Amino acid sequence: MGYPMAGHLSQDKDIDLYIYNRTNSVSAKWLNQFKGLKLKLSDTPNIKLDGLITCLKDDESIIKVLIKNKLIESLKKNSFVIDHSSTSLELINTISSHKSIKKNKISFFDAPVSGGEVGAINGTLSIMFGGPNKKISKINKLMSSYSSSIVKIGPSGHGQLTKMVNQLCIAGLLQGLSEGIALGKSSNLNMNKVFEAISGGAAQSWQMDNRFKTMVDGKFNFGFAVDLMIKDLKIALKQAGLENLDLRTSNSVIKNYKKLSKEGSGNLDTSSLIKLLEK
């Protein structure tokens, strides 16, 4: 996700863009394709940044890069951090309360994204973010280079809470879509005609528009991975538990995703949920 997002940012001539990836070969590939400077963590004491945009796998990765590797110490006073990762609320508290963040009055924005790899490549991601009300115009300008929808939900943490809602909605949609397609295929329906008939009606969704045909064809080599969805659903279900909500559908779906992961399908797209119905 971060690879194409940084690529869009590199097109802005007003930005001196430094990029960093934990895998050197990925950094080298990016630098060959786009314009920017590679940021070496060992050099961060000599670099002072106006802002930092992160897009990492999980809480542990963010803590390692920002805190353990001290990238956070390369930020100037009154700068900002935009985190596009999907994380727990605890992670936000950990970063926001860090001594460097507080001392240098750095604004932290939790800004998870939706739209998948295709959205990142096309620059059409949807961003939901939480945080302070300062620097909004500046960060909106930056984020608009790789997104088509940017909504400030509320204070710190509200971006991640909205992403939890997003992931719960997707999980339920994909379960229903999987079951519908499974019935259609087992009944020997012309699935192209089925899509034509129902995609313009009440069943229409982004998942149907973008995943129906690939699910019918058994293609799952793109988009958001099963293992990442498991991580996100765990976060959402934990929060739901704190609110005394019994989310039976989502609890059922995460069990199915765990089955897929255990069978070696953890890197497949989340639409691979249908595989469990076609055995």
pLDDT (tens place) for every residue of the chain, 279 residues total: 999 999 999 999 999 999 999 999 999 999 999 999 998 877 777 889 999 999 999 999 999 999 999 899 999 999 999 999 999 999 999 999 999 999 999 999 999 999 988 899 999 999 999 999 999 999 999 999 999 999 999 999 999 999 999 999 999 999 999 999 999 999 999 999 999 999 999 999 999 999 999 999 999 998 789 999 999 999 999 999 999 999 999 999 999 999 999 999 999 999 999 999 986
Residues 189, 68 share a domain: no
* Helix, strand, coil percentages, rounded to 5, for the chain: 55, 15, 30
Domain that holds residue 122: 2-156
Tell me the pTM: 0.93
Residues 229, 152 share a domain: no
Catalytic residues: 163
Residues 130, 268 share a domain: no
d(CA 139, CA 272): 35
Structural domains in the chain (count) = 2
Listed residues 129, 156, 183: the one ending a domain: 156
Provide the 8-state DSSP code for 72.
G
Listed residues 122, 156, 190: the one ending a domain: 156
Strand duo 147-154 + 125-130: pairing: parallel
d(CA 61, CA 45): 20
d(CA 109, CA 162): 13
